[in-house]
């Protein structure tokens, strides 16, 4: 049986800064996961990833990550790795958690 | 210390200029990431979870104060004010920006440092005993050998595209502080029956997903034969090492699949050919290297101040017990500075702490510093009379933790807090263990104990050779930690045994506590170390302590 499709977002690292970034509906890149555009189907996800990969002069290594939708209707990370990427390391208060 | 000659200087400067141009072309879009990635990796530049990471080589862990100050400057100007000292005796900067990296490399070149061969399938930064040139038990200083290997291996045209990365470690003492049996090649200095110095050559050690203890391919190799013999090993590996599967590409797999006798025969055959073609290392180069590592001029004057300070100050006495090792000159001590404060991040030092260490090395330590594979910093030559002053200065900088060789002297890789390969975090586990046992005030009662933590199967935290090893994994989207027991990274190297199912993050500290409680209850007396007790008792009582008699006590999964 085919696995149920879970919505996805595209994430990558900024080319110059290395920061974690998310692909937005306007095909820009945001440091805020809440601004990521959500692909609700496999086909939409593939199209989104292809559009992101075309911007390799801005980012490195775009990939699809599963997402939940929070009560505020904004995307949220599912896997703990993606949780860490939204905030920065747990041993110091720096990275994204200190910048937002 | 070895100083760059004109060739070294020009070589490193040219590489910086070349990389500056490559970065410029990546940023302006002339190079794709696929084209650029191998170029940045050749200069030690990775892209990690949150940012780029630059890995800087510290050959055989040896630094002078000028170099340490430059690392501090880089940490402050281009990073977030700290650096991370690693189990490969390197330093990593976790937050550089791509466009700044050429400037960082320029600053490194100013002090005869670089990032070359800190990544890629080449011969990596050569490591050595961190007590080199100072240890009381030393047969010979291993650094001239390590420096010769560094010069031979740097940009060696034949060995730039090996099947996988290749690591060489050198020990000059019978007590192995360089983990020689867990490297691709381990060189242990020995003497033959005639008293001549040479090497025991160990091949095929390594940790990672297939941990193996290296095997001896030569009991005694004369010093003059070192380079042709290394060439022979690398040639055999380069030709026969597997390239079809990166997980089976290390030389340890070749040793395993080919068999030691057959591999030895191939190496000896290649060695005979190499030796005939090898004109020998020029005598003036050997002399130049040996002179660079000549011991400093020691003052052989003893003082009562050292003993008096221990009598007057119990905290200082504790520091001496754990952090000061025996020097070859009885008037001196080897001071290990712990980068493992209780609750801290193993291996991290702030820019300010680096400067304090540089100042102390300059003033009291013959301008020498070492990085250990256990992620601490060593002042190898401190007059005992000066140790109380050094201790006071370390205390002011938050660097006087007296825990070397004890439970909280934990090796931990960066784990998923930084590393893109990691499957779980390491640092918070190390922090939680050190805090918990500080609360229990049991560390000295427990005695010598090595806990090593890796955040993935690649084993950068050397967990396989920890007395207690912890491996972080992803189990169905949750961080999960497996325990191994009985590992040993010394001359009696052993791979630890897995206890059984792993533990969730909130259960790993109680599990470690249960193991320690079992040890304290079962040891013969306080002189029996954890490792000795484990070797006597086997795994069973420790498994019972964490899983219960029916295997259902702890929340292992």
Q: How far apart are CA B210 and CA B247, in angstroms?
A: 8
Could you tell me the pLDDT band of residue B553, with boundaries at 50, 70 and 90?
Answer: low
Count other Cβ atoms within 10 Å, centred on residue B304. 10
* pLDDT (tens digit per residue) in B533-551: 999 999 999 999 999 976 6
Phi–psi pair at A43, nearest 5 degrees: -65, -45
Percent of chain B with pLDDT over 90: 96
Put simply, the answer to whether B97 touches A17 (Cβ < 8 Å) is yes
DSSP B460: T
Distance from CA of B475 to the nearest CA of A (A): 11
What pLDDT sits at residue A100?
A: 66
Bridge partners of A69, per DSSP, are A75
DSSP state, residue B123: B
* Separation between Cα atoms, residue A84 and residue B474, nearest integer Å: 14
Rounded to an integer, the average pLDDT of B165-189 is: 98
Domain chopping of chain B, boundaries: 6-110, 127-291, 304-397, 411-547
What is the rounded average pLDDT of the residues B120-136? Answer: 97
With respect to residue A45, please indicate whether it lies within any of the assigned structural domains: yes
Q: Which residues of chain A, if any, have pLDDT below 70?
A: 1-2, 100
Domain B6-110 shares a fold with domain B127-291: no
Kindly report the number of other CB atoms within 10 A of residue A88's CB atom: 24
Q: Measured in Å, how far apart are chain B's first and last C-alpha atoms?
A: 51
* Burial class of residue B463 in the structure, from the number of CB atoms within 10 Å of its CB (0-12 exposed, 13-18 middle, 19+ buried): buried
In 3D space, the residue among B155, B120, B132 whose CA is nearest the CA of residue B18 turns out to be B155
Q: For B6-110, which CATH class?
A: alpha beta
| Fold classified for B411-547 | Sulfite Reductase Hemoprotein; domain 1 (3.30.413)
Instruction: Please identify, in words, the CATH class of the domain defined by B304-397.
Output: alpha beta
A24 in a domain, yes or no?
A: yes
Nearest CA in chain A to B101: A16
Mean pLDDT of B253-271: 97
Tell me if A60 and B479 make a contact (CB, 8 A cut-off).
no
Mean pLDDT of B86-104: 97
Name every residue in A having a CB less than 8 A away from some CB of B. Answer: 13, 15-20, 56-57, 60-61, 78-81, 84-85, 88-92, 94-96
Question: What is the mean pLDDT of the segment spanning B30-56?
Answer: 97
- A96 in a domain, yes or no? no
- Distance between CA atoms of A79 and B315, rounded to whole angstroms? 45
pLDDT of residue B487: 98
* Residue B403, φ and ψ in degrees, nearest 5: -140, 15
Name chain B contacts of A15, Cβ cutoff 8 Å. Answer: 26-27, 98
Number of domains in chain A: 1
DSSP for B216-259? EEEEEEEGGGHHHHHHHHHHHHHHHS--S-GGG-SHHHHHHHH-
pLDDT at B115: 97
Q: What average pLDDT does the segment B142-165 reach?
A: 96
Neighbours of B277 (CB within 10 A): 8
Cα–Cα dist B106/B534, whole Å: 50
Q: Quick check: is A94 in a domain?
A: no
* Domain enclosing residue A81, as ranges: 8-87
Q: Do A91 and B345 touch (CB under 8 A)?
A: yes
Kindly state the tokens that stand for B112: 């005869």
The structure tokens listed for B485 are 């027991």
What average pLDDT does range B22-33 have in this prediction? Answer: 97
ipTM of this predicted complex?
Answer: 0.96
* pLDDT tens sequence across B408-419: 999 999 999 999
Q: B-chain residues within 8 Å CB-CB of A61?
A: 33, 47
Q: Is the dihedral of CA B374, B378, B381, B386 positive or negative?
A: negative
Least Cα distance to B418 among A59, A70, A84 occurs for: A84
Residue A93 lies in a domain: no
Q: Domain B127-291 adopts which CATH fold?
A: Sulfite Reductase Hemoprotein; domain 1 (3.30.413)
B458-496 residue pLDDT tens: 999 999 999 999 999 999 999 999 999 999 999 999 999
The pLDDT-based confidence of B164 (bands split at 50, 70, 90) is very high
Confidence at residue B557, expressed as pLDDT on a 0 to 100 scale: 52
Q: Residue A58 domain-assigned?
A: yes
Pick from A57, A89, A90: CB nearest B29: A57
pLDDT tens digits, residue range B340-353? 999 999 999 999 99
Min Cα separation B462/chain A (Å): 21
| Inside any domain, residue A40 | yes
B349 token code pair: 């030092």
b/e B95-122 (16+ beta carbons within 10 angstroms → b): bbbbebbbbbbebbbebbbbbbbbbbbb
Q: What is the mean pLDDT of chain B?
A: 96
Tokens of A59: 């980012």
User: Which tokens belong to B379?
Assistant: 């002042």
Given this model, what pLDDT does residue B303 score? 81
Place of tokens 């010979």: B140
CB nearest B33 (choices: A60, A88, A92): A60
Residue B509 has which token pair?
């500290």
A79 within a domain of the structure (yes/no):
yes
Please report the pLDDT score of residue B301 as a whole number.
82
């Amino acid at each position: 049986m085919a696995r149920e499709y879970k919505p996805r977002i595209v994430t990558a690292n900024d080319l110059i800064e290395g920061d974690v970034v998310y692909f937005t509906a306007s095909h820009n890149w945001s440091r805020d996961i809440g601004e990521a555009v959500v692909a609700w189907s496999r086909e939409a996800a593939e199209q989104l990833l292809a559009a992101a990969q075309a911007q390799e002069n801005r980012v490195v290594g775009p990939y699809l990550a599963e997402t939940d939708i929070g009560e505020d209707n904004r995307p949220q990370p599912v896997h703990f790795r993606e949780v860490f990427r939204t905030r920065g390391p747990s041993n110091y208060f720096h990275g994204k958690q200190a910048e937002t | 210390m070895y100083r760059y000659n004109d060739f070294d200087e020009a070589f490193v400067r040219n590489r910086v200029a070349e990389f500056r141009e490559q970065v410029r072309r990546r940023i302006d879009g002339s190079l794709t990431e696929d084209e650029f990635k191998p170029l940045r990796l050749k200069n030690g530049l990775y892209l990690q979870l949150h940012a780029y990471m630059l890995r800087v080589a510290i050959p055989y862990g040896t630094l002078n104060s000028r170099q340490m100050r430059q690392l501090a400057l880089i940490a402050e100007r281009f990073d977030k004010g700290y650096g991370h000292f690693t189990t490969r005796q390197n330093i990593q900067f976790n937050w550089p920006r791509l466009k700044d990296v050429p400037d960082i490399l320029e600053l490194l070149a100013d002090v005869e440092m670089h990032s070359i061969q800190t990544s890629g399938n080449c011969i990596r930064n050569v490591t050595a005993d961190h007590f080199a040139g100072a240890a009381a038990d030393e047969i010979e200083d291993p650094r001239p050998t390590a420096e010769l290997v560094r010069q031979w291996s740097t940009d060696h045209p034949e060995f730039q595209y090996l099947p996988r990365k290749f690591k060489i470690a050198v020990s000059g003492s019978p007590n192995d502080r360089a983990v020689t049996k867990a490297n691709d090649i381990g060189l242990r200095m020995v003497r033959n029956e005639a008293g001549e110095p040479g090497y025991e050559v160990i091949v095929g050690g390594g940790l990672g997903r297939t941990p193996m203890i290296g095997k001896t391919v030569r009991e005694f190799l004369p010093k003059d034969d070192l380079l042709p013999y290394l060439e022979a090993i690398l040639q055999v590996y380069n030709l026969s090492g597997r390239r079809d599967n990166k997980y089976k590409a290390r030389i340890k797999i070749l040793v395993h699949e080919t068999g030691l006798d057959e591999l030895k025969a191939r190496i000896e055959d290649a060695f005979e050919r190499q030796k005939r073609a090898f004109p020998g290392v020029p005598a003036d180069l050997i002399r130049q290297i040996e002179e660079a590592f000549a011991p400093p001029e020691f003052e052989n004057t003893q003082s009562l101040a050292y003993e008096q300070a221990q009598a007057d100050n119990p905290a200082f006495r504790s520091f001496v017990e754990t952090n000061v090792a025996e020097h070859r000159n009885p008037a001196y001590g080897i001071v290990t500075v712990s980068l493992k404060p209780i609750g801290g991040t193993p291996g991290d030092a702030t820019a300010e702490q680096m400067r304090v260490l540089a100042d102390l090395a300059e003033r009291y330590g013959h301008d020498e510093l070492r990085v250990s594979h256990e992620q601490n910093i060593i002042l190898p030559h401190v007059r005992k009379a000066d140790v109380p002053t050094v201790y006071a200065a370390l205390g002011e900088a938050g660097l006087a933790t007296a825990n070397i060789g004890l439970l909280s002297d934990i090796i931990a890789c960066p784990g998923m807090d930084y590393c893109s390969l990691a499957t779980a975090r390491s640092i918070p586990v190390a922090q939680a263990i050190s805090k918990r046992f500080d609360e229990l005030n049991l560390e000295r009662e427990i005695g010598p104990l090595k806990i090593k933590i890796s955040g993935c199967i690649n084993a950068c935290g050397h967990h396989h050779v920890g007395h207690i090893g912890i491996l972080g994994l992803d189990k169905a989207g949750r961080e999960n930690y497996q325990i191994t027991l009985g590992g040993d990274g010394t001359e009696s190297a052993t791979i630890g045994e897995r206890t059984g199912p792993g533990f969730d993050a909130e259960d790993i500290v109680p599990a470690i506590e249960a193991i320690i409680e079992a040890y304290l209850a079962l040891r013969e007396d306080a002189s029996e170390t954890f490792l000795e007790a484990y070797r006597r008792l086997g795994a069973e009582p420790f498994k019972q302590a964490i899983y219960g008699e029916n295997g259902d006590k702890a929340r292992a999964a």
